[in-house]
Amino acid sequence: MYSKLRWFSICFLFVATYSIGHATDTKELSSELQILIDVSGSMKHNDPKNLRIPALKLLINLLPNGTQAGVWLFAERTKVLVKTGVVNRAWKKKALSKIKKIHSLGLFTNIEDAIQTSSNKWFEAPEDNPRHLILLTDGVVDVSKDIMESAESRERIIIDQISQLQQTGVKVHTIALSDNADTELLEKLAFDTNGWNETVQHAEQLQKIFLKIFKQAIPTDTVPITGNSFTIDSSVDEFSVLLFKKKGGKATQLISPDKTKISEFKKPEHVSWLSDKNYDLITIKKTKAGKWKIVAEMDPDNQVMIVTDLKLQVEDIPNHISDQDTIDLNAYFTDKHQLISQEDFLNLIDISVELINEKGEKNEWKMEADTEKVGLFNNTDKPLLRKGKYTIKIKADGKTFQREFVQAIDVVKSLMTVKMDVDQKSRSITIKLIPDKKIINTEMLSIQASITQIGQATETHDLINKHDAWVLVLDDVAEEEGKKIINFSIIANSLKGDSLSPNVKPIVIDERLFSKPKKTVQDQNEDLEEPESNKLEDEEEEIDETLEEDEDIDWVNTVGIVIGINIVFILAGFFLFKFFKKRAAAAQAQLLARLE
């Protein structure tokens, strides 16, 4: 009995020590990326200059080291162009030599095979890192001369592959290169997987579209460009400047804080300069803190990407939101993956938000420090948005340093309001879809739910109309069932008789719905301040129950051991907490000193 208690105390002390030491760790996961390029014969018409090559060249050069990436060509079959591997200098060199083989000689456009072949390993393994699939095509699903075979292939993409992509955490980003592409399918692939969709009218636009998709798929640390200058602080180890060129524009130069002029033909050894017909990509590894100036024609898509331990972190923003929803923004700073909570640092920070619509019109507001969670900033202004695509820019000014976060969002017209009620005790979920009766003819409305789960057959349920709400009830959701995803198929007509396709985002059902909200980095930080005695209450109860079951226990010795364990835990927790808190404060103080 005593040996078990001693072993328990050692294990518990180790777990407590590890938890305290890592409670504010925000591990950064590397992204996995597969790129699918259509090489069917129709590309001769839609991309006669083969501009897919320079667009892909830009994307490859932008990929951060550590990303896993692969490139595939597809037509009637799918072939690997660049083998999937970890992005580094050698991988990029090989990839850039291989993309010259992109052609327009294929016979068909087998999108189903392209998705299956490139995603096979993802479908066979659980999600570890963020997964992204970029699909560029100019056509429709076309697998043979038999129209019905192509229609069946398209149907399998919608019914089977989208659910596989959802279950394995793959976001699909689609690019339609022509109006002849199956935009409905490409939009559905992007919407249902929380990816991004773009339609390109001319191949000349591909470079900037690939840049936009890159920013949606792989968030990058950046600093804002103001006018023709940007600020690099002492925490930045390396930075890259992407500058788009204009015909007849002046030759690009960078002027460092010490007034040194850097150009393509006059640059130090630590500067690499990639010059393309349409852009310059300049990477500087030995950085100088201060204000840098750009001598070039300025373009709104220019950007400065940095490598740094001092990061502006923004909690996930969905790519698609309803026009009935508001945008919730939460941001915080980390240094070497540790949340910064030091007041001296936080008091220096001003965070502003710009929301820019497709016409270039801006809506601006400030983010405020959270009064309850130290280190967290929230947006208090939450405007309702009209249908359309917007760009969100979050800019942080720390007086001696700046950071910027940029993401596009697509606001979709909502013809359905979705409500979900979770009963914790009975473990039941009630989902209601409420149509907009001013637009939808509810007498002609039909809604079907498809519930998918890895390793299980798809379940289909017809939603029942109850008081103008279409209802789905899931009873007795078992704890061991794992993640389920619900997709909705809606047949609807307007009051005028026109066919409608209401957008309803997939719903994820998993154990998080029946437990306390997932702790953020800020919540974990607060846990450090919780008295260790509170954390031990449950363990004491378990020990007491065990003691009651054994009639031959020496109560005096046992109680002494329990008290001793508690004292050890409390003292260890207190001193460990003080140690890690002091170490984090010292690190943040050093960071502040560097930035002054």
Q: Where are the domains of the chain?
A: 2-23+528-541+553-595, 32-217, 222-308, 313-401, 416-514
Residue for token pair 């000014």: 397
Say how far apart CA 35 and CA 73 lie, in whole Å. Answer: 9
Show the CA angle centred on residue 36, arms to residues 35 and 39, nearest 5°: 140
Q: Which amino acid is at 299?
A: D
316: left (phi over 0), alpha (psi -120 to 50) or beta: beta
Provide the pLDDT for residue 22: 39
Provide the pLDDT for residue 480: 74
Superfamily of domain 416-514: Immunoglobulins (2.60.40.10)
- 448-to-128, 442, 498, 506 alpha-carbon distances in Å: 31, 14, 20, 13
233: exposed, middle or buried (C-beta count within 10 Å: 0-12, 13-18, 19+)? buried
Give me the average pLDDT of each 10-residue run along the chain (596 residues): 44 39 56 97 95 97 96 98 97 97 96 97 89 96 95 96 95 94 95 96 94 94 96 96 89 95 94 94 94 94 96 94 88 95 93 94 93 91 86 95 96 91 92 94 94 90 94 88 90 92 90 66 40 44 47 54 62 58 60 61
Q: Which of 28, 26, 93 is nearest to 67 (CA)?
A: 28
Provide the pLDDT for residue 387: 92
Q: Which amino acid is at 213?
A: I
Provide the pLDDT for residue 379: 87
Contacts of 590 (CB under 8 A, 6+ apart): none
CB 145 within 8 A of CB 440: no
Fold matches, 222-308 and 416-514: yes
Q: Which amino acid is at 477?
A: V
φ and ψ of 50, to 5 deg: 55, 50
Provide the pLDDT for residue 567: 67
In the chain, helix, strand, coil percent, each to 5? 30, 35, 35
Provide the pLDDT for residue 389: 95
A 10 A CB-CB count for 277 gives 8
Report residue 186 CA to chain centroid gap. 19
Query: Which CATH code is given to the segment(s) 222-308?
Result: 2.60.40
Report residue 591 CA to chain centroid gap. 28
Query: Which CATH code is given to the segment(s) 32-217?
Result: 3.40.50.410
Alpha-carbon torsion, ordered 575, 580, 583, 589, to 10 deg: -120
